Each structure stands twice: as C-alpha cells, then as structure tokens.
Chains A and B, each alone.
Chain A
Amino acid sequence: MDLYEGLPEPVAKAWERGLTSGRAAMSRRRLLRAASLAAAGSTLAACGIPPAAGNKGGNGPEDTPDHSREEKVLNFANWPLYIDVDEKNKKKRPTLDRFERESGIKVKYVEDINDNNEFYGKIKPQLAAGQDTGRDLVCLSDWMAGRIIRQGWAQRLDPANLPHAVTNLEDRFRAAAHDPGRQYSYPWAGTACIVAYNKKATKGKKVTSVTQLLEDESLKGRISMLTEMTDTIGLTMLDMGVDSEHFSADDFDAAIARIQKAVDRKQLRRFSGNDYMDELNSGDIAACLAWAGDVVQLQMDNPDVEFAVPERGYLFGTDDLLVPAKARHRSNAEALIDYYYQPKEAAELAAWVNYICPVSGAQAEMEKIDKELAEAPLIFPDARMIAKGKNFRPMSAKEEARYEEKFSKLIGA
C-alpha cells in the first residue's frame, strides 16, 4: 500500500520528508507496526469478542457518514483562553470569524474542556455506546488524544482535505509517538511545562528547578505542582536525570517517592489544574510548575511573575485536535484544522495564546505582527530550546492505569 497514494505532489513530499528524516525516521516503522496491530485488533473484534470499551473497528473516513455537505456547522470544543479574541470586543474571535466568513461554516465554539480526565469522563459514555458526542472537533492533550485513538474513538482524517496542514506541520511534530504519521490528530499548539515563580513572593530569589521547588525550605507551603500526571512526573524525572521519553517503572516510582516526601513535609500547598494562575498572581503560591503560554500571558498583567526553563530540560507536549468517532461533520472539522495551518492564521493565533506554534512559515508572518514574539523561544523555539524539550513516553493501557493510580494517591486521593 502506498501511503502517499492520491496526495498532491508537494503533500506527498512533505510526508515523505517528515517520516524519513531524523527522529521521525523511527515513526515509519512504528506506523507500519501500528497498522498491523490495528488490523489484528479489528479481526479479533470481528471474531465476536466485543470489548466493553475499545476499538469498534473502522473509524476511517469511509465508515462514519459525513453530513458536512448538507449541514454547514461545526461544534468545536476547546480549552478556555485558547483562541485569539478581539481586544475591544471579547465576543469576537478574529481568526475564527474569518474562517466562518470564508468557508460558510457556522462554528459553535464552546470552551468546555477544563481538564483532560474530566472531559474524557464526560464524553466516554457516548463514545463507548457508539453515539455522537455532539462535538465534531475536540482539543485534548497528546496523552489523552493517544488514549482516544488507541481505543478507536477517533476518526481518521483525510489528508486530501488538509493540504496546508500536511505541508506546514513542523517536521518534529509528525513523529508523535501517540499518533504516528498524524493520521488522527493535528496539534493545535505545543505546550511546554516549566517552572514559574512570583519574585515578590520569593523575595527576589530565583527558582529554576524542580529540586528547588521540592526542597527549598523558604518556599515551604507555597509551591504547587500540576494535577496532570505527565507534566508533574515528567518534569520531576527530568530533574532526576531520567529521560521522560524512555523511563522504566522504577524511575516512575522514584519520582513519586520524591514528591511524596515533599508532600509529607508539607512543602507542597496544592496540586492544581489551570487555576494555579490566580495564586501565582497573588503570591499565595511563590513557585510552581506552569505551562509556558499561561505564564507569558500572566506576565503581561503582573511583572513579578517570572519563569525558568529548567537546566535539565522541560516537558514538551502538544494539545491535539481530533474528530471523535461518530461526529457528523468531519470535513468541516478538517476545513478548520487546515485553515489554522496557514502561516498567517497560525501566527495570529500564536500571538494571542502564546503557546508553541506547530506551523512552519508562521514565524515569518509573526514578524509582521510583533517582532518580539517572533523571537520568543517559547512560541518559536530555537534549536537549543527544541533539544531541551522532552516528551512523556506513551503508555500502554495497563501502565497508564497503574501510574494514574499511584499518582492519584500522591495528589491526596
């Protein structure tokens, strides 16, 4: 089977480049392995052992009827503060409004994702029952996107509808371990989990590492970590000199034990979701793990907030757009994904959300918008910054359950 069959020439080239060079080279093998696994999975399912939750087989473009042509609508679920809004009228979203005008597709944009696990809990019953979730496009962190893909609850995207996305996706995003070859998902933005601190609250002291967070007596009771396991554990592992892309179960346990010690000493104030920003702003939290884009946004209001990229590396991830199984408007969703992979639109979006931009060519566009942002290493990372970013390796279902259990015990429940 020719993977690039039916694709326009430049698109096929771009894929080939992405899949065969550097880090991505691995992914071709992985891709083929994944394809054979999927085939084996669907055969098993066909044998009549229907797993209560799992791959129902066949979520390709041909399997779910697409109503995009008759119904020019798109239900898009995203995280709060994750899209550009007009300075004067907060109800207006310049790039999204332009998409609606150009495509004639009415987008129902809902900011109802606050937590990966919570959102999964919300849509899982419909997905498991093989029903439409009412959402055509959702934005989830890579590990959660990976879980949904693994369970067969995402629709395969049609590259023919994604000419810009296929060509403009930065090469290093193509090799995603949770979705080799980007068959199901495209990044909305890249995320970097780093250390942030409020210099007023630390009395001018710089906080630059997880070690300092967990051990500095002067920060006792005033630090927080994230309820996202991959970020908290990943960054702690990196701090311990363990590569989060290739860790073992013992490495994981060691990281848990290290944080547990800090919890027992009451060094940690809280494990938080997105809500750490308020407390970092007020200084109740002196230092914490944080997402880079949030910190950049917060800095505009509060000059005391600073961030540091830990010397031993930061945790790099993506928030991916995917189309849930049985969603009615896949082509409309693809149109939106593709729209945001145009450099100009991508730059506008990145200028507002301040997260890592996965679109090549956007940096040049950004120079026209804001010279300073075009050089911001947390939006357009340079080679040194890219090298410091580490993923959290994908986990099997069993591993994930075991790790989540240990982690949830750690965070107090």
Chain B
Amino acid sequence: MTAVAPLSPSGRPPTGAADEAASGPGKEPDGAGTGTGTRRSRRRLTPYWLLLPAGLWLAVFFVAPLFYQASTSVQSGSLEEGFRVTWQFSNYTDALGTYGEHFVRSFGYAAVATGLCLLIGYPLAYMIALRAGRWRNLLLVLVIAPFFTSFLIRTLAWKTILSDGGPVVGALGSLHVLDVTSWLGLTADDRVLATPLAVVCGLTYNFLPFMILPLYSSLERIDTSLLEAARDLYAKPATTFRKVTFPLSLPGVVAGTLLTFIPASGDYINAQLLGSPNEQMVGNAIQKQFLNVLDYPTAAAMSFILMALILIMVSVYMRKAGTEELV
C-alpha cells in the first residue's frame, strides 16, 4: 500500500515531490550561500503559493458564506422588520422538531441510493478496469456521457419513461414486480412516479457516475501481479476478490460512497420532480423555507443541521472504514 501523501489530491504517491526533495539539494550550485538561502525559503513557500488560489476560493465562497449563514441561523425577525441577531437558538430545535421526518427520510433515501450505486457500480467499474481491454476508454466515456445533458433534463426524462401508462410501468406491472415493491411500501397503486421508489431510483441514476469513477480509479491501480500471485497460491477467484481485490479497492469504495451519499442527502430535484408530497426531502424543505416562507433563520439553521449530521455520519463512517489513505 502506498504511503500517505499530504497535499496529493490524486492519491498517487508523490513521486515528483520526493524526487525533487532528494535531488534538489544536489543541484544547488555550491558556494552560493545567500542564493541557496532565498531559494530554500522560496521553496518552502511554494506549497503555500500553490494553495493560495484554492484558499482564496474557499475563503470567499465557503468560509464567508458559512459565517453569514451561521449568523443568519441565530437571528429572528421578519422580512418587513428586518432580521437581527438575537441568538435565537430555538431556530435549531424548532427546525429539528418540525422537519425531523424530512431529515430521516433524506438520509434513508440517500443511504439506499448509495447502496444501490455500489451494487451497480462496483461490477461495472471492475469490468472496465480489469476486463475491458481496448473498450476501456469507450466504456468510461459512456459512464460520463449522461453529463453531456443537463441534470434537470435527465430527471425530467424519467418522468416520461416511467409514465403511468408507459411501457416500463406496464412491463413491471405484468411481471408482478410492482406487487412486490408495493408490498414493500415502495410503490402504490400500480405506478412508479410519485413514489419512494421513483425518488430512490432517480438519486441512484443521477449519482451513479460519482460512484463508478473513484471505484474505477482505485481498481485500475491494482497491480495485476498481486492477483496472479494469489492464483499461484491456489486462492479461488472468490477468495482472491475477498482477500486482495476488495481490500485494495477500499479507498475507491469510501470515496465513491461519500461522493454519492453527501450530495444525495441534500438533493431536492429528484424528490420534487419524481416524488409526491409524501416523499419530500430536507432539501425541499430548506428551499421552501427560503423562497416561500422567507424564514431565512430557520432555513439557515436547517442547512447547518444537515451539514452537521452529514459531518458526524461521515467521520463515524471513515473511522469504521479505517482507511487513512483515503483518496
């Protein structure tokens, strides 16, 4: 396994940096005392210069809004009278009390969608990375092909595909699949649209590439000689997968699940377009608070709660997953 590489966003071993560190001093012209000093300090500053654009970006578009939002979340007032900071922490308890159900539902849907993405995405990523041969690039392009059309259009297309009288629902109905799903409480009245199933499927569909790509990149890096070695040692294919391939792909699994779960739990488009009033997620609630009710403090408090809950879940998950060498 590769060593932990700070500041290496790709997860690859920082060979370039290591080489430079090793060979750098040797290249310094001898005897140029002051020059070496400034160069060294300049080199020491290099990482910070490289960080500057991202840092500025984060400061302007993340930290500042976050502060603003934090302040909003403890304000009280109304649009007409203006909002003032009154340290109204009850915004938080009110939001949790009123919209607890939405939070639970969001995380539930996001978790199921993430699970489905993993089930669908892993075999596909495995196939592309290890078996596709010359088709690999084409398949990868196909994975990201949906991004060529807008998120909204793709979700709207599902409304046509899953239309009540359409062939898909007809086929599912005659195969009795809908009987099973409605027994599970996922569908109702022989339709798919405006049911939990539609929302979960929409989430799964829309976030699948975010699962496949990290999985692919970690599977693709696996040294195939390790798999050969396992075979030489009389490991069955299943054992090879369990003991070698899967553990080596764990960083991809963790990254993929995070990249799927986090945006899925805050998503509101799928619930809005594919769900009924009974499937609305917390994103919808925040949107309504912000745009319709114009209760900015509650909306801000809800966003904070969502962020905090995601953060807690993610850190627990990462501890459990135990992979320090996260991508």
Which A residues contact B (CB, under 8 angstroms)? 51-54, 117-118, 120-121, 151, 220-222, 229, 263, 266, 268-271, 278-279, 282-284, 397-398, 401, 404-405, 407-413
A282 and B163 contact, Cβ closer than 8 Å, known pairs A269-B194, A413-B287: yes
Do B292 and A404 touch (CB < 8 A)? yes
CB of B246 closer than 8 Å to a CB of A: no
Do A401 and B294 touch (CB < 8 A)? yes
A409 to B188 CA separation, bound complex (whole angstroms): 22
CB of B9 closer than 8 Å to a CB of A: no
A229 to B275 CA separation, bound complex (whole angstroms): 19
Interfacial chain A residues near B47, Cβ < 8 Å: none
Do B278 and A53 touch (CB < 8 A)? no
Chain A residue nearest to B83 in the complex (CB): A52
Shortest beta-carbon contacts, A-B, top 5: A52-B82, A412-B277, A412-B280, A413-B285, A408-B288
A413 to B291 CA separation, bound complex (whole angstroms): 12
Question: What is the 8 Å Cβ interface bit string for chain B, positions 49-63, against chain A (1 contact, 0 not)?
Answer: 000000000000000
Interfacial chain B residues near A413, Cβ < 8 Å: 102, 280, 284-289
Interfacial chain B residues near A404, Cβ < 8 Å: 292-294
B82 partner, pick from A53, A120, A121, A271, beta carbons under 8 A:
A53
Do A121 and B81 touch (CB < 8 A)? no
Do B79 and A401 touch (CB < 8 A)? yes
A53 and B79 contact, Cβ closer than 8 Å, known pairs A263-B277, A269-B276: yes
Do A121 and B277 touch (CB < 8 A)? no
Do B290 and A411 touch (CB < 8 A)? no
B99 to chain A, nearest CB (A): 8
A18 to chain B, nearest CB (A): 30
A404 to B193 CA separation, bound complex (whole angstroms): 27
A238 to B163 CA separation, bound complex (whole angstroms): 32
A221 and B293 contact, Cβ closer than 8 Å, known pairs A270-B276, A282-B163: no
Known contacts A52-B84, A121-B291, A151-B80; can you find 17 more A-B pairs with CB under 8 A? A52-B81, A52-B82, A53-B79, A118-B291, A120-B291, A221-B194, A263-B278, A266-B189, A268-B276, A270-B194, A270-B276, A278-B159, A404-B293, A408-B292, A411-B280, A413-B287, A413-B289
CB of B237 closer than 8 Å to a CB of A: no
CB of B137 closer than 8 Å to a CB of A: no
A266 partner, pick from B79, B159, B276, B292, beta carbons under 8 A:
B276
Chain A residue nearest to B81 in the complex (CB): A51
Interfacial chain B residues near A263, Cβ < 8 Å: 277-278
Chain B residue nearest to A222 in the complex (CB): B164
CB of B78 closer than 8 Å to a CB of A: yes
A411 and B288 contact, Cβ closer than 8 Å, known pairs A51-B80, A268-B277: yes
A221 and B80 contact, Cβ closer than 8 Å, known pairs A266-B276, A404-B293: no
List 27 A–B pairs whose Cβ atoms lie within 8 Å, in order of A's numbering: A54-B82, A118-B291, A220-B189, A221-B189, A263-B278, A266-B188, A266-B189, A266-B276, A269-B276, A270-B194, A270-B277, A284-B159, A401-B79, A401-B295, A404-B292, A404-B293, A404-B294, A405-B293, A408-B289, A411-B277, A411-B280, A412-B276, A412-B278, A412-B279, A412-B284, A413-B102, A413-B286
A54 and B278 contact, Cβ closer than 8 Å, known pairs A221-B188, A401-B293, A405-B295: no
Interfacial chain A residues near B285, Cβ < 8 Å: 408, 413
Number of interface residues of B (CB under 8 A): 38
Interfacial chain B residues near A401, Cβ < 8 Å: 78-79, 293-295
A52 to B278 CA separation, bound complex (whole angstroms): 36
Interfacial chain A residues near B277, Cβ < 8 Å: 263, 268, 270-271, 410-412
Question: What is the 8 Å Cβ interface bit string for chain B, positions 138-179, against chain A (1 contact, 0 not)?
Answer: 000000000000000000000110011100000000000000
A147 to B57 CA separation, bound complex (whole angstroms): 36
Interfacial chain B residues near A409, Cβ < 8 Å: 98
Chain B residue nearest to A285 in the complex (CB): B164
Do A266 and B291 touch (CB < 8 A)? no
A398 and B78 contact, Cβ closer than 8 Å, known pairs A221-B191, A282-B163, A413-B102: yes
A268 to B84 CA separation, bound complex (whole angstroms): 39
Do B82 and A51 touch (CB < 8 A)? yes
Interfacial chain A residues near B295, Cβ < 8 Å: 401, 405
A266 to B280 CA separation, bound complex (whole angstroms): 13
A263 to B294 CA separation, bound complex (whole angstroms): 24
A361 to B125 CA separation, bound complex (whole angstroms): 68
Chain A residue nearest to B298 in the complex (CB): A405
B134 to chain A, nearest CB (A): 42
Interfacial chain B residues near A121, Cβ < 8 Å: 290-291
Chain A residue nearest to B99 in the complex (CB): A413
Interfacial chain B residues near A278, Cβ < 8 Å: 159
Chain B residue nearest to A403 in the complex (CB): B293
A160 to B272 CA separation, bound complex (whole angstroms): 46
Chain B residue nearest to A283 in the complex (CB): B165
Chain B residue nearest to A122 in the complex (CB): B291
Interfacial chain B residues near A51, Cβ < 8 Å: 80-82
Chain A residue nearest to B277 in the complex (CB): A412
Q: Which of B77, B188, B194, B277 has the most CB of A within 10 A?
A: B277
A54 and B80 contact, Cβ closer than 8 Å, known pairs A270-B277, A284-B163: yes
CB contacts under 8 Å to A, within B186-208, are: 188-189, 191, 193-194
Interfacial chain B residues near A269, Cβ < 8 Å: 193-194, 276
B181 to chain A, nearest CB (A): 15
Interfacial chain A residues near B280, Cβ < 8 Å: 411-413
Do A408 and B293 touch (CB < 8 A)? yes
Do B292 and A407 touch (CB < 8 A)? yes
Interfacial chain B residues near A222, Cβ < 8 Å: 164
A398 to B295 CA separation, bound complex (whole angstroms): 12
A269 to chain B, nearest CB (A): 5
B101 to chain A, nearest CB (A): 10
A266 to B81 CA separation, bound complex (whole angstroms): 39
Chain A residue nearest to B77 in the complex (CB): A52
A73 to B280 CA separation, bound complex (whole angstroms): 43
Do A117 and B165 touch (CB < 8 A)? no
Interfacial chain A residues near B83, Cβ < 8 Å: 52
Interfacial chain B residues near A397, Cβ < 8 Å: 78-80
A283 and B164 contact, Cβ closer than 8 Å, known pairs A221-B189, A412-B277, A413-B287: yes
Interfacial chain A residues near B159, Cβ < 8 Å: 278-279, 284
Interfacial chain A residues near B278, Cβ < 8 Å: 263, 266, 412
A333 to chain B, nearest CB (A): 25
